Chain A
Amino acid sequence: MASSSSSGLTFKLHPLVIVNISEHYTRVKSQMNPHPLTSTVNGVENQQPAPRVYGCVIGVQRGRTVEIFNSFELLYDPSTHSLDRSFLEKKQELYKKVFPHFYILGWYSTGSDAQESDMHIHKALMDINESPLYVLLNPAINPAQKDLPVTIYESELHVIDGIPQLIFVRSSYTIETVEAERISVDHVAHLKPSDGGSAATQLAAHLTGIHSATKMLNSRIRVLHHYLVGMQKGDIPCENSLLRQVSSLLRRLPAIESEKFQDDFLMEYNDTLLITYLAMFTNCSSTMNELVDKFNTAYDRHSRRGGRTAFI
């Protein structure tokens, strides 16, 4: 399939769609009957081919901007190579009642690349939307890859070998978030450390987060500093409005300075230290208790005749 850029539409994708597609795929994959790993063939173990899931994406098109808000699943009928039409229409009606502005913008699927058979489904959807979108999610986890494994394809009529054919062309997109989506994505992103490890790794992860944030602030202050020094030397013409803004920014330091803050801060700091100390105390005393019990048990075996002489 060709991979040139598209007709000039700008695409905005919401994270909800990506989460939906990945959730659909994960669910289907985990519900598949666990296939016993077949015998090694040339040293390579065979696993079942990754299932493909299909569905529809809906959203709004305003002028040249296409914004994809939501998606829902569809059943794929392998015999007719098409999606379940009646179900699609039912779902479309239901969604229309709740979101009257959303239209069906296209469909989605999973896999690593767009294939020939996808064109059938694409053409089938062309009667709902004259230029549908094809959103493809690549479920293979590639730790080296930095971008999202999501591609959006449009269809264009190209003349190949004298026959006008529809082919898929890749288009670029941006991610657009609503506040609610940002919060949930943020939450999911922060879940990773607690999955992995001990207190040490969590602490290290937290500190690394703070470190990178401080580093960003540092680099920006450095830019400002450089700019002001340049202005002082005379390399850069003085721009008063920027200078005013910088001076108002500098006025905000130190961030909090009243006595009351110091009092509260020290009180909370001392409370935390006290509690850590108490916890350690409790730990030590329980360990000591266990030690005494074990000694008693050990020495009991020695003197079997009544007289329980405790060690301590």
Chain B
Amino acid sequence: MDIEQKQAEFIDHFVKQASAQKGTALVSVIVEATSHPSLFAFSEILAVPTFAELDGTENSEYLEVLRLFAHGTWSDYKSNSGSLPQLVPDQVLKLKQLTVLTLAETNKVLPYDQLMLELDVTNVRELEDFLINECMYAGIVRGKLDQLRRCFEIQFATGRDLRPGQLGSMIETLSNWLGTSDNLLISIQDKIKWVDNMSELDKKHRKEVEDKVEELKKSISAKKLPTVSRLKLTSEGSKRSTLNLVE
């Protein structure tokens, strides 16, 4: 969607920069990429081979930071903050945004308490400001804030980078969706057939009743005897009336 389009040029730019440089210069690329306000996708940058070289060296902690930004959350950072370098406030903000995206992956309705815990925010006002300004205006999340029930209902959230195992679960979800829609199609088709059948039956029934009425009318007009007629009339009259009602 449009987030992806906006990101695409930045991703290209950073990938080029990363592949062009080595060693400590890459560190600055990482810092720049992770603090960029519109960039939320880091797996392309991670995939650049020059990063793999960083792994053994003293700058490997920056590689860890990049991995954290690709897949982790703010609480991951806090628990590992010993081994990771200090983050610039822009990076802190971005990590918090990414945390919201991760939370959105599991639940559609996020209670304020959980959000406040994950994001290290103490009062509701700050939380709402953060959600509104940083998440919704940035366009990465769309949803409704329900202050009475203290929850955030998410309708749309940008995807984060995929961990390798997630592909399998996505395929499973898709196949479930496919199965449900197939069943739905079948049941709609059955209903349509049922509708057609019922209207057929109804028409047949109507026709039968009308035919019977015609027959009776003819038989009555055939026998015009006055004395017998009264009795006949009553039984025929009642027959006719019941047939009319059945119609």
Contacts and interface: CB of A to CB of B under 8 A. Distances in A.
B155 A252 contact: yes
A291 B185 contact: no
A245 interface: yes
A217 B237 CA distance: 58
A302 B244 contact: no
A185 interface: no
Given A214-B188, A232-B168, A302 B181 contact: no
Contacts of A200: 195-196, 198-199, 202
Interface in B162-209: 162, 166-168, 170-171, 173-175, 177-178, 181-182, 184-185, 188-189, 191-192, 195-196, 198-199, 202
A291 to B, nearest CB: 5
B20 interface: no
A294 interface: yes
Given A204-B196, A243-B162, A295 B174 contact: no
Contacts of A231: 167
A298 B238 contact: yes
A274 B63 CA distance: 64
B205 to A, nearest CB: 13
A204 B198 CA distance: 11
A246 B157 contact: no
A211 B185 contact: yes
B106 to A, nearest CB: 9
B153 A258 contact: yes
Contact of A245 (B4, B168, B182): B4
B177 A253 contact: yes
Contacts of B79: none
Contacts of A294: 237-238, 241, 244-245
A180 B8 CA distance: 35
B164 to A, nearest CB: 10
Interface in A194-227: 198, 200-201, 203-204, 207-208, 210-211, 214-215, 217-218, 221-222, 224-225
A66 to B, nearest CB: 31
A244 B195 contact: no
Contacts of B170: 228, 243, 246-247, 250
Contacts, number: 132
Nearest to B197: A200
B188 A210 contact: yes
A305 interface: no
Among B8, B105, B189, B199, chain A packs the most CB atoms within 10 A around the CB of B199
B245 A290 contact: yes
B57 interface: no
A301 B188 contact: no
Contacts of B167: 228, 231-232, 243
Nearest to A304: B230
A94 to B, nearest CB: 43
Nearest to A293: B241
Contacts of A301: 230, 233-234, 237
Nearest to B1: A245
Nearest to B104: A251
A248 interface: yes
Given A240-B43, A241-B8, A248-B158, A257 B181 contact: no
Contacts of A241: 4, 7-8, 11, 41, 44
A225 B185 contact: no
Given A217-B181, A221-B174, A244-B162, 18 more contacts: A200-B199, A203-B195, A207-B191, A211-B185, A211-B188, A211-B189, A214-B184, A214-B185, A232-B167, A240-B161, A248-B158, A251-B104, A251-B154, A251-B159, A291-B242, A298-B237, A301-B233, A302-B234
Interface of B: 1, 4, 7-8, 11, 41, 43-44, 47, 104-105, 108-109, 153-162, 166-168, 170-171, 173-175, 177-178, 181-182, 184-185, 188-189, 191-192, 195-196, 198-199, 202, 230, 233-234, 237-238, 241-242, 244-245
9 contacts: A211-B188, A214-B185, A221-B178, A241-B41, A247-B105, A253-B173, A291-B242, A294-B237, A302-B230
